C-alpha cells in the first residue's frame, strides 16, 4: 500500500516533528515483486584508493583465467578479491537519494514522495586486498615461443603468440606491474608479439651491436642508433635490434639533431658474466674475473657486486670459485627459497642475499623484515651475515 502526502503529514504531526525542519523528500522503501537472485550481483567493499579511482572516471579490471582466483586491477595496482560473509543483511536498492542531493525544504510545503525498491538481499561481499601480482605462469607462457632468430621461426606455434593486451588479460597483474615484469625478463617485441629472446641468440645480437662501437671508434656515450641499424639490418631483424637497443641503452646527448646513447654498464657487464657462467660449472674466481673484464667493451669496468642475484662467489674454497645461481630459478614459496639459499651457501651478507628475496617482499615486509623472520644474524669482522635459523 502506497502512502499519500496527507498520511505522511499526519505521521509527522503525531511524531511532533515540524516539516520545515525536515528535507522535502520522503523516501519509502519497499520490496520489489521479483528480487534479484544471489548470483546475479556481487558487492565489493572498496578502499579509499579504489573509490577515488572510480570517482576519477578510471576503469577497474577483473583479470585472470577461468581457473584463477579473480583479481581487481587499477592501472598500477593489483587487489585480491576475498569472499567475506556478514550477519547483517545487505540491501540492493534502486535510486536511493543521498542527503546532499536533496534540496532545502520550502516553508509549509508537503513532502515529495520518492519510492525506493529493494531489488535484492545479500549476506556476503567481496573485499579488495592489495597484493603483489602473481606472474608465476608468465615465463612458462613466453618460453613456448622463444625467439631464436628468423631462420627458426617456422618452428613457432603462431597460435601461442601474444600481444601485450592478450597477455595482460591472462595474467593477474595491473598493466604497469606487468610491464615492469616483462622489462625485468628482457622480453622483446617482434611483429607486435611479446617474445623471450633465446640466450645464445641474445648474446649474438648484443655482441654485434657492441662491436660497432669499436668499428666506428665511438666514445661509450656517443652510440648512434641509426648507424647501428644500418650496419646490422641484413643480420638482425629491425624489431629485434630496436628492442635489444632499448633494453641496454639510455639517452646521453644530441649532436647535429641526432640523439646519441650509451650502453648501460651494469646491464652489459652482468649479461656477459652470465654468458661466461652459462655452462661453465664452478669457475676459478681469478680466471673468471680476468676473462669477464676482457669480454666487455673497453672502458667498462666489471665489479663483483654485479654478480649479486646471478652467481655465488665462494672464497672458502681453495682456490676461490664462482658459479651461476640465478634468482629466477629459485622456488616461489618463501620457506622453500630460504632453504635452498642456506643449503647452497651457509652465510650471506645483506647485499648478497637481498636480490634473491626482494621479489618476495610486500608493503608490510621489506628485505630486513624477511631476514629477521627467516634467518639468524651474526657478525664476522664487523660485517653482518645471515644464516639458517636452524643451523647448528
Domains of the chain, by residue range, sit at: 5-131, 138-195, 199-263, 282-388
Mean pLDDT, rounded, for 118-128: 86
Mean pLDDT, rounded, for 349-362: 91
Residue 280: the pLDDT is 83
Mean pLDDT, rounded, for 224-241: 95
Residue 348: the pLDDT is 93
Q: What is the pLDDT of residues 257-315, one digit of tens each?
A: 999 999 999 999 999 999 999 888 899 999 999 999 999 999 999 999 999 999 999 98
C-alpha distance from residue 56 to each of 44, 81, 277, 347 (Å): 18, 22, 50, 50
% of the chain residues with pLDDT over 90: 57
Report the mean per-residue pLDDT for the chain.
89
Q: Which residue has the higher pLDDT, 105 or 53?
A: 53
Residue 25: the pLDDT is 77
Please, which pLDDT band fits residue 320 given cuts at 50, 70 and 90?
very high
**Is 70 exceeded by the pLDDT of residue 332?**
yes
Q: What is the pLDDT of residues 41-92, one digit of tens each?
A: 888 888 899 999 998 988 888 887 778 788 899 999 999 888 888 888 888 8
Say how many CA atoms lie within 13 Å of 39 toward its Cβ.
0
Residue 1: the pLDDT is 55
Residue 261: the pLDDT is 97
**Is 90 exceeded by the pLDDT of residue 161?**
yes
Residue 4: the pLDDT is 74
pTM value is 0.80
Residue 133: the pLDDT is 85
| CATH classification code of 199-263 | 1.10.10
Please, which pLDDT band fits residue 131 given cuts at 50, 70 and 90?
confident
**Is 70 exceeded by the pLDDT of residue 368?**
yes
**Is 90 exceeded by the pLDDT of residue 117?**
no
Residue 248: the pLDDT is 96
Q: What is the pLDDT of residues 138-153, one digit of tens each?
A: 988 999 999 999 999 9
**Is 90 exceeded by the pLDDT of residue 243?**
yes
Beta-bridge mates of residue 373: none
Range from 53-67, 72-86, 197-211, 371-385 that averages highest in pLDDT? 197-211
Residue 391: the pLDDT is 65
Say how many CA atoms lie within 13 Å of 142 toward its Cβ.
26
**Is 90 exceeded by the pLDDT of residue 156?**
yes
**Is 70 exceeded by the pLDDT of residue 105?**
no
Residue 26: the pLDDT is 76
Amino acid at each position: 500500500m502506497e502512502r499519500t502526502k496527507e498520511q505522511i503529514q499526519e505521521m509527522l504531526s503525531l511524531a511532533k516533528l515540524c516539516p520545515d525542519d525536515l528535507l522535502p523528500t520522503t523516501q519509502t522503501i519497499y520490496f520489489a515483486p521479483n528480487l534479484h537472485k544471489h548470483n546475479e550481483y556481487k558487492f565489493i567493499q572498496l578502499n579509499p584508493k579504489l573509490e577515488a579511482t572510480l570517482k576519477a572516471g578510471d576503469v577497474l579490471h577483473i583479470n585472470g583465467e577461468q581457473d584463477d582466483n579473480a583479481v581487481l586491477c587499477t592501472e598500477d595496482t593489483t587487489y585480491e578479491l576475498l569472499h567475506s560473509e556478514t550477519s547483517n543483511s545487505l540491501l540492493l536498492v534502486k535510486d536511493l537519494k543521498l542527503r546532499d542531493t536533496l534540496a532545502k525544504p520550502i516553508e509549509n510545503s508537503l513532502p515529495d514522495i520518492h519510492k525506493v525498491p529493494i531489488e535484492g538481499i545479500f549476506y556476503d561481499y567481496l573485499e579488495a586486498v592489495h597484493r603483489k601480482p602473481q606472474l608465476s605462469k608468465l615465463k612458462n607462457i613466453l618460453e613456448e615461443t622463444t625467439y631464436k632468430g628468423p631462420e627458426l621461426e617456422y618452428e613457432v606455434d603462431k597460435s601461442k603468440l601474444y600481444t601485450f593486451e592478450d597477455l595482460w588479460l591472462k595474467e593477474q597483474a595491473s598493466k604497469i606491474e606487468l610491464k615492469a615484469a616483462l622489462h625485468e625478463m628482457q622480453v622483446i617485441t617482434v611483429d607486435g608479439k611479446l617474445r623471450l629472446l633465446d640466450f645464445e641468440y641474445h648474446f649474438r645480437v648484443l655482441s654485434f651491436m657492441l662491436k660497432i662501437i669499436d668499428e666506428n671508434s665511438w666514445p661509450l656515450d656517443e652510440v648512434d642508433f641509426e648507424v647501428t641499424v644500418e650496419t646490422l639490418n641484413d643480420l638482425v631483424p629491425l624489431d629485434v635490434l630496436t628492442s635489444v637497443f632499448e633494453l641496454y641503452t639510455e639517452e646521453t646527448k644530441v649532436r647535429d639533431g641526432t640523439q646519441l646513447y650509451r650502453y648501460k654498464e651494469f646491464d652489459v657487464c652482468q649479461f656477459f658474466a652470465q654468458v661466461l657462467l652459462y655452462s661453465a660449472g664452478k669457475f676459478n674466481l681469478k680466471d673468471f674475473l680476468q676473462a669477464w673484464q676482457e669480454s666487455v667493451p673497453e672502458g667498462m669496468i666489471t665489479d663483483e657486486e654485479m654478480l649479486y642475484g646471478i652467481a655465488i662467489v665462494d672464497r672458502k674454497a681453495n682456490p676461490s670459485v664462482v658459479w651461476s645461481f640465478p634468482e629466477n630459478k629459485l622456488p616461489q614459496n618463501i620457506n622453500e627459497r630460504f632453504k635452498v639459499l642456506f643449503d647452497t651457501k651457509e652465510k650471506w651478507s645483506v647485499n648478497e642475499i637481498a636480490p634473491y628475496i626482494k621479489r618476495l617482499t610486500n608493503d608490510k615486509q621489506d628485505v630486513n623484515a624477511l631476514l629477521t623472520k627467516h634467518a639468524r644474524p651474526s657478525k664476522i669482522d664487523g660485517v653482518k651475515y645471515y644464516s639458517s635459523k636452524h643451523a647448528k
